[in-house]
Structure 1
Amino acid sequence: MTIDISQFFQVFFDEAEELLAEMERLLLAVDIDAPDAEDLNAVFRTAHSVKGGASTFGVTDMTEVTHILETLLDRIRKGEMALTSEHVDAFLAAKDILKMQLDGHRHGSEVDQDAVGNIRMVLHSLTENVPVAALAPVAVASFGAADTQVVDHSGGRRYRLELPVMDHREVTALGAELGLMGHVSITPLDRDRNAMVVTTHESLDDIIAICSFVLNPEDMIVTELPALDAAQQQLEDAARNKVESDLGYGFFDAVPLHPDNDAASSGAGEGYGFFQPLDEIRANAQSASDDARGYGFFQPLEQIRAAAGIVSDPVTVQEEEKKAAKKEEKEKEKSHAGAESSSIRVSIEKVDQLINLVGELVITQAMIEQRVDTLDPMKHERLLNSVSQLTRNTRDLQEAVMSIRMMPMDFVFSRFPRMVRDLAAKLGKKVDFITNGAATELDKGLIERIVDPLTHLVRNSIDHGIEMPAARRAAGKSDAGRLFLSASHQGGNIVIEVSDDGGGLNRERILAKAQQNGLAVSDSMTDPEVWQLIFAPGFSTAETVTDVSGRGVGMDVVKRNITAMGGVVDIRSAKGFGTTISISLPLTLAILDGMSIKVGEEVYILPLGFVIESLQPTPEDVKEISGKGRVIKVRGEYLPLVPLYQMFDITPRFTDPSQGIVVIIETEGRKAGLFIDDLVGQQQVVVKNLESNYRKVAGISGATILGDGGVSLILDVAALIRSSRQLADEQIFS
């Protein structure tokens, strides 16, 4: 039966992208001076996994790059070559090339073949200690041919793989894949079976991993042959054209059968005179724990050496046993961890559909709850209890479904170590990048929109904030500046901070630049007000324009994007000590906690995150400013009064603030009093996009459906404050 693997391409693309991201993370974290062996092995495994998947799906261009990359990594992890920063740079560049090739197959984007050729040449030059022939695929012997191209692999390991009955095409494909790892020769056996002899520097685990794509490893007999020296290599070359009926492979003498030795006589066909038969290996594996290192059906290495007349150093054997035991323990831990954790890939469209359905369920539940409120609790006690239970279950279901969309901030943070490293090297600076709170979760929709603003803030910190090493030494600081990226939950919001220990913001330079740009400034402005000037369009204090920054494009976009997500940007800075830019965002845009307010006959939803307090002022607290409207005095501070009925042209119940309610709101560092008729209550609402269903309405950010089935508009607090004419005069805030 032929299986169409095209249906699994998306899984390969997703997994390959995750593996490449993991490779980059590992490479950035590795200690070049004293690399940890497990870290190097982990990098090698990611490259090998990408190569295996690419080979399975016929993505040959990625296979060729990963093969050279894998060979170099293997030499380094084995201690045959010291890791250098040049190696890490080449590996990161190779990762970028692989990502470009992956995008080319996934999205049809253009692939720069010159860049691919360059990175292959760089990796090839770095592996000059490795025979060049080992880096290229080797021709595989065709069936019935006795001659095969010979490649010098002296010092490499040699394995004989006796394959089960397989299709000719599958054997050829397997031989071609193993040929990427070294030299392969194929010999036909009886009953449509074949044997392969693989000479390679790779491990047995890697060979088995490749074979597992096309066959069950338990159906294959694997034996290790002694390594070839130069003389044996010549002998094998001369005898390669001989018919191997004696099973000696040209350089081993056929072992005579011994009738008195059952094991030898029965194993002559299967063990070829000096390898232990498969059945005996399995039998011994059940009674001897040492054979566990043979995977239950492979012969232990020391027995092969003894049978072949090779004397092993006891100390070396003991070290190998310790390594094998340690490896086995790690494999058990991995398999145990894998058994406990599981996941399933679900498209975001299905998740959004589920969230919408739960939102409708919440609305229906609110309608039912409002209907039963008019019933007599004595007569309908059981119905009311059932509705209460439904309310609790609906809330739990809503929270569980919303958590599906939540993703850890590590999804964003993991993008920056590479960028920080490259940008710091480009600017000639030293930067230690530190993250905290990567496990903090945020809605997927917000995570995707926060990447660009954070990228700009991080680049600004490196370019403008952190000084050059010489300047830092002169200021009594360490040569390497520190850049912090943190995330934490505060109530119903997530707070993301970008901090550096650089020179801080220059108040005088910002004021001078703002005045040059025609902005209204004064020396009496507070520091927070001065810092907000950098968000003005076209504002930049850079003396020269570079490809990093200096054009004044970005910070205004950052603030606009954050505000559009319902967030707030705050800046704290001290000259000579550094700058911290704090971003506060709601955890999700799909559901919000709101306060129901009433003006005339209309009910609006005021997002609770902007509400500080509500009060009923006395007539003495409300003052009229000629031509500027009214202000309200709250604990010695005068705030502009925003009459909501005037903003939306509604006939109110009250026009005197002392008769109605004033809600103190705050956004973008500014406070105001929102004058309304009455407070209805507090509730959690499902946000519906008004713009996609109707059109954009000034002062309105969305809509929701109330329990009575009516539609209530959600106020855009930031837009209301900005559009209020009372705020035109900054002197109100003094």
Structure 2
Amino acid sequence: MSAIRDTFFQECEEQLAALETGLLAMQTGDRDPETVNAVFRAVHSVKGGAGAFGLDVLVRFSHVFETALDDVRAGRLVPDATVVALMLRSADALSDLVRAARDGGAVDEVRDRALVAELEALGGARHANIASAATPVDDEMDGLDFQPLRFEPASSQVPAERSWVVRFRPRPELYAKANEAAVLLRELGRLGTTEVELDAGDLPPLTDLDPEGAYIAWTIRLTTAQSETTIREVFEFVEDDCELTVTLADAGDATAPSAVDLDLAALLRQVQAPIVASPVAAVASEAPPAPAPRAEPDTEKAKPAASAASDHGAGAKATIRVDLERVDRLIDLVGELVINQAVLAQSVGEAGMTRSSSVALGLSELEQLTREIQDSVMAIRAQPVKSVFQRMPRLVREVAAMTGKQVRLVTEGEATEVDKTVIEHLADPLTHMIRNAIDHGLEKPEARAAAGKPAEGTVRLAAFHRSGRIVIEVSDDGAGINRARVRASAVAKGLIAADATLTDDEVDNLIFLPGFSTAEAISDISGRGVGMDVVKRSIQALGGRIAIASRPGQGSTFTMSLPLTLAVLDGMVVSVAGQTLVVPLTAMVETLQPKASEVHSLGHGAQVISIRGTYIPLIDVGVCLGYRDAAGEAGAGVALLIEGEGGARAALVVDNIQGQRQVVIKSLEANYQSVRGIAAATILGDGRVALILDVDTIVAAHRSGPPRTELQTAGFAYA
């Protein structure tokens, strides 16, 4: 039961995500019936599962929410801006109720009661009388205490009883989802007096019986004072998995049921009796008697039905749920496989074997197979950023309400995929940035109107791939960074000297300093100075970087660049001052042999190289990392033309190239400490440790001033 409950809550997360997506589409004017149906099904599915586990509070709220959505679906309610806003708040409350049912804890009962009242008001008096408690079922089904809701008629006058004819034919999907026809018939019997007739005309001989098929139907004559809607609510959890008709008996639609094979019905009673008492014992100890002979046409009739049932699920995309620890273990093993393959390649090369030898050819095939395995395993961990982006609309609504601002969130690139490890660490940084964009970036509606802007501000959240990395942008159309205020606040807090000379970019980056804040008062949103510095550290811990672009009066854009995966990468192995380094292949454009005539000095040790009429900065990696004090002769070594963030290009000078190789990423920060200019480390085929360059940091350090020697000051052992 615990495993089934966990699965239910996992599916709830998926349904809530679909609910949020559909409501946001409706908010933008989407009136597609399928969108409305998807929203309705999401709430309906949550209600159905909650009912099976006796989560009455969740069921009652879901039912009220579902009823309002049914009015929209039926065209009785127009989903205007006010209605959709109410439903978005209801979706937030539903999410809180699911979380409370899963993890425990309190919910805002006052808010929930107010939402129920508003939802009921949408539908008028016919939705006003919902029973507050459920009548328990006398017996249990598979250990589940199923407690359905009871709905009282809106009028105090008891309606006269009428006779109904209910025809119910389950499909195989109904049983596949662990539903039971007997429970539904029993619940129908609680509404009044019933006469049930079994229709087993499509049942084949036992030798042709598909254990996952559905061959039996029922015709129920029900006498009750309840309405047709109440009768159909008995089957609402399975309405998509059965054939159901409900007609008035006195309307002339109560035709006689199909003939029943009495001998076969008796056989079914004999078989079913021990199964109900003890399913395992019945199968083991008692064999059913031989079935009565049936005509050939009936057998042929059953076969297409079974075939249709099989074909129905043939097009469905099969998925399985796997414990994440197993996937992580598989990732680690693939990493070790890559290392061992490199060790073998190193040994074969040192043994002097030719490339045409059987061992070398076999090793080449092993390398190709290893790469395919690695790509397949990494694809398992790859997930769209949609799972993170879907959390932000609610955050935007809450912060907008707290600040009194009108905000619209626009998301782009939700299908962009990235490693799950990266996704898990994105939620907190994005939360900080969205809150800051609304609180500090966007103006109040009256200020926007005075500036000639729409009263509603826009926050844009976008994701896309660039140069083998994932880039996430958070932008707003607010007032931009007030640099004078930022500088004054930094001076007041002692973060910079009053006479410091800073560029606009340097002033913008002051907001990443620990303890920095421009808020005049501490609130639930900001003012404590523990926001953007945490964001920067979180991004850097993932091997990423963050940049700011702001224009006064037009808004700001924060750009995060992150690696697609934290496991393996394709790199170019190079030598610098006797050390072996790895340059990520995704950053490289081309390699070239510089000529002395193409290299020009600019003074203070700076050099540029002319490439097809364009001058590009020339950076000696050995000097930048502190391996040597001065650059070599002009034209010496090999130049690696790289393209960094924003399309900026530079040429990195190394001594020589050893070759291209797939390497396993090992965190340098986790095993040693963070080193400027170094993104991570790896293990080579000969067992040595090689450092993986952070090319963007090296380029940025070269532009900002004289060469840095962090590797020397950190005391890192190069051997």
TM above 0.5, yes or no, is yes
Q: Which of 247, 252, 266 does residue 224 from structure 1 map onto?
A: 247
1:68 equivalenced with 2:46 (yes/no): no
- Whole-angstrom CA distance in 1 between matches of 2:674 and 2:554: 44
1:210 aligns with one of 224, 230, 237: 237
The answer as to whether partners of 1:567 and 1:583 remain within 8 angstroms in 2 is: yes
Match for residue 455 of structure 1 among 398, 414, 431:
431
The Cα offsets for residues 483-509 of structure 1, whole Å up to 9 and x where unpaired, read as: 222221112111211222222222322
Shift of 1:553: 2.4
For the 8 Å contact 2:161–2:223, the answer to whether it is kept is: no
SS in 1 for 2:426: helix
- For 2:508, the equivalent position in structure 1 comes to 531
The 8 Å contact of residues 405 and 445 in structure 2, kept in 1 or not, is answered as yes
Which residue in the other structure is 2:529 paired with? 552
**Residues 165, 219 of structure 2: 8 Å contact kept:** no
**Structure 1 equivalent of residue 558 of structure 2:** 581
2:422 pairs with 421, 446, 465, which one?
Answer: 446
Alignment partners' CA distance in 2, 1:112 and 1:339: 43
Residue 492 of structure 1 aligns with which residue?
A: 468
The aligned counterpart of 1:187 is 194
Residue in structure 2 matched with residue 306 of structure 1 by the alignment: none
String of CA shifts for 1:564-611, please: whole Å, max 9, x gaps. 212121222221222222111111111133343446665343555677
* Partner SS, residue 558 of structure 2: strand
Specify the alignment match of 2:98 in structure 1.
102
**CA-CA distance at 1:555 after TM superposition:** 1.2
Closer, same or farther: CA 538–689 of 1 in aligned 2, 3 Å:
closer
Local SS of the residue matching 1:432 = strand
The percent identity for this pair of structures is 38
Answer whether contact 1:351 1:405 (CA < 8 A) is retained: yes
Which piece of structure 1 moves more, 91-100 or 565-574? 91-100
Q: Displacement of 1:336 after TM fit?
A: 8.1
1:117–1:482 CA distance, 2 compared to 1 (3 A): closer
Q: Letter of the 1:58 partner, please give it.
A: G
Corresponding position of 2:16: 20
Alignment of 1:130 with 2:109, yes or no, is no
SS at match of 2:191: strand
- Partner deviation per Cα, 1:328-386 (whole Å, 9 max, x = no partner): xxxx9xx9898253433222222222222222222222222223335666695343333
- Residue type of the alignment partner of 2:558: I
Question: Retained in 2: the 8 A contact 1:159–1:222?
Answer: no
What CA distance in whole angstroms lies between the structure 1 residues aligned with 2:326 and 2:367? Answer: 24
- Whose radius of gyration is greater, 1 or 2? 1
Report the AA paired with residue 399 of structure 2: L
Aligned residue number for residue 543 of structure 2: 566
8 Å CA contact retained: 2:384, 2:416: yes
Conservation of the 8 A alpha-carbon contact between 2:544 and 2:561: yes
With 26-35 and 456-465 compared, the bigger mean Cα shift is at 26-35
1:279 to 245, 258, 262: 258
Letter in 1 for 2:5: F
CA contact 2:342–2:685 (8 Å) conserved in 1: yes
Task: Pick which of 16-25 and 710-719 moved more.
Answer: 710-719
Pairs within 5 Å for 1:319-358: 339=315, 341-358=317-334
Distance 1:109 1:641, change over 3 A: farther
Match of 1:78 in 2: 74
Shift in Å, 1:172: 9.0
Q: Look up the SS of the partner of 1:184 in the other structure.
A: coil
| Contact 1:703–1:712 (CA under 8 A) maintained in structure 2 | yes
CA distance in 1, matches of 2:4, 2:115: 29
Equivalent position of 2:684 in the other structure? 706
Distance 1:381 1:638 in 2: 44
State the AA in 1 paired with 2:446: A
What is the DSSP-based 3-state SS (H/G/I as helix, E as strand, rest coil) of the residue aligned with 1:538?
coil
**Amino acid of the residue matched to residue 224 of structure 1?**
T
Task: Write out per-residue CA displacement over residues 169-193 of structure 1, whole angstroms, 9 at most, x where no aligned residue.
Answer: 97895479779xxx92253658999
Deviations 1:665-684, CA, capped at 9 Å, x for gaps = 99999999999765534422
Q: Tell me, yes or no, if the aligned pair for 1:617 and 1:662 is still in contact at 8 Å.
A: no
Residue 479, structure 1, aligned to residue 455, structure 2: yes
Q: Which of 684, 698, 701 is matched with 2:662 structurally?
A: 684
Residues 30-41 of structure 1 correspond to what in structure 2 (within 5 A)? 30-31=26-27, 35-41=31-37
Residues of 2 paired with 1:617 and 1:533: CA distance?
41
Query: How big is the shift at 1:18?
Result: 1.0
What whole-Å deviation, never above 9, does each CA across 1:290-349 have from its counterpart, x for those lacking one? Answer: xxxxxxxxxxxxxxxxxxxxxxxxxxxxxxxxxxxxxxxxxx9xx989825343322222
Going from structure 1 to structure 2, the CA distance change for 1:729 and 1:590 (only over 3 Å counts) comes to closer
Give the match for residue 54 of structure 2. 58
Instruction: Judge which range, 503-512 or 127-136, deviates more.
Output: 127-136
Deviations along 1:84-103, one digit per CA (max 9) or x if unpaired, are 55544443343333323322
Measured against aligned partners, the alpha-carbon deviations of 1:636-663 in whole angstroms (never above 9, x if no partner) come to: 999997857986xx8x8x9774487898
Inter-partner Cα distance in structure 1 for 2:705 and 2:29: 59
Deviation at residue 132 of structure 1 after TM alignment: 3.6
Residues in 2 aligned to 1:66 and 1:623: alpha-carbon distance in whole angstroms: 71
Q: Residues 466-520 of structure 1, C-alpha deviation per residue, up to 9 Å, x if partnerless?
A: 2233333332333333322222111211121122222222232223333333314
Contact 2:568 2:662 in 1 (8 A): yes
- What SS is found at the alignment partner of 2:462? strand
Task: Indicate yes or no: 2:426 matched with 1:403.
Answer: no
Q: What is aligned with 2:286?
A: none
In structure 2, what is the equivalent of residue 419 of structure 1?
395
Provide the secondary structure at the position in 1 that maps to 2:464.
strand
Query: Could you say what secondary structure the match of 1:30 adopts?
Result: helix
Once the two structures are TM-superposed, the CA of residue 394 in structure 1 deviates from its matched residue by 2.0
Bigger mean CA offset, 195-204 vs 528-537: 195-204
Tell me which residue corresponds to 1:258: none
Q: Which residue of 1 aligns with 2:268?
A: none
How far residue 621 of structure 1 moved from its aligned partner, in angstroms, is 8.1
Cα–Cα, structure 1 residues 159 and 106, in superposed 2: closer, same or farther, change >3 Å?
farther
State the one-letter code of the partner of 2:74.
Answer: K
One-letter identity of the residue aligned with 1:210: F
Q: Which moved more, 1:354-363 or 1:698-707?
A: 698-707
Q: Is the alpha carbon distance of 1:682 and 1:175 closer, same or farther for their aligned partners in structure 2, counting shifts above 3 Å?
A: same
Map of 2:40 onto structure 1: 44
| Conservation of the 8 A alpha-carbon contact between 1:721 and 1:727 | no
- The residue matched to 2:530 in structure 1 has which SS? coil
Q: Which amino acid aligns with 2:247?
A: E
What root-mean-square deviation, in Å, do the aligned CA atoms of Structure 1 and Structure 2 show?
4.9
CA contact (8 A) 1:642 1:673 kept: no
Cα deviation for residue 545 of structure 1 reads 3.6
Deviations 1:190-235 (A, max 9, x none): 899986567346498765443579xx857xx854127xxxxxxxxx
In the superposition, relative to structure 1, how do residues 172 and 7 fare at CA in structure 2: closer, same or farther (>3 Å)? same
Other structure's SS at 1:79 match: coil
**For residue 349 of structure 2, what is the aligned residue in structure 1?**
373
Match of 1:507 in 2: 483
Name stretches of at least 5 consecutive residues in structure 1 with no aligned partner.
227-251, 253-271, 282-331, 626-630
